[in-house]
């Protein structure tokens, strides 16, 4: 189990070893705009609702992601994410008719990303198992349960 404050969670999702998921490619956009990039800033944790909110950019626009524990585990997923458009940036080529389709694609892609996360630390693999939000401690935190598979121990001096 790891406990992450809002700042820690922002650092976790933007860590150089954490490669964001690859959503479907948008038509009429440059390759740079077709990459999903999570943002470190403005992460919020709400233990009363069980939701961790964070942001990212995709298609030249800003998107909001709401991560929570999946209460419907029929498909085996333990995390659920809902994506929504926050702000369309100037010069973005997203047309309104595409917003719903992009929201659905980002929701599906980021949910799959968290549920199938396999974070490698030089031969040690961490994968998502479960999560919860708590108010215990000096500030709210998201508790993430990780499965660990050790192929080899990380090399001394590995920067994390």
119 bridge partner residues: 126
- The total number of structural domains that make up the chain: 1
Tell me the longest C-alpha to C-alpha distance in the chain.
51
Q: What is the pLDDT of residue 55?
A: 96
In a domain, residue 123? The reply is no
Pairing state between β 2-4 and 37-46? unpaired
In a domain, residue 143? The reply is no
Q: Hey, CA dihedral for 11, 16, 20, 25, is it positive or negative?
A: positive
- Give the pLDDT mean for 119-142: 87
In a domain, residue 106? The reply is yes
Q: What is the pLDDT of residue 160?
A: 55
In a domain, residue 150? The reply is no
Place of tokens 């999570």: 38
Q: How many CB atoms lie within 10 A of CB 23?
A: 22
In a domain, residue 15? The reply is yes
- Give the pLDDT mean for 26-42: 74
- The structure's pTM equals 0.83
In a domain, residue 138? The reply is no
pLDDT over 60 at 24, yes or no: yes
Q: What residue numbers bound the domain in which 92 lies? A: 2-118
In a domain, residue 83? The reply is yes
């Amino acid at each position: 189990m790891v406990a992450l404050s809002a700042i820690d969670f922002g650092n976790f999702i933007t860590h150089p070893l954490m490669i964001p998921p690859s959503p479907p490619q948008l038509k009429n956009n440059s390759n740079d705009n077709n990459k999903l990039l999570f943002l470190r800033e403005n992460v919020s944790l709400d233990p009363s609702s069980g939701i961790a909110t964070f942001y990212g950019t995709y298609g030249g626009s800003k998107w909001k992601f709401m991560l929570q524990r999946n209460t419907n585990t029929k498909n085996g997923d333990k995390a659920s994410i809902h994506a929504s458009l926050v702000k369309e940036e100037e010069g973005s080529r997203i047309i309104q008719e595409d917003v719903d389709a992009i929201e659905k694609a980002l929701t599906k892609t980021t949910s799959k990303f968290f549920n199938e996360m396999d974070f490698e630390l030089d031969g040690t693999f961490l994968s998502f198992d479960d999560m919860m939000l708590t108010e215990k401690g000096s500030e709210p935190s998201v508790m993430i349960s990780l499965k660990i598979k050790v192929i080899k121990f990380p090399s001394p001096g590995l920067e994390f």
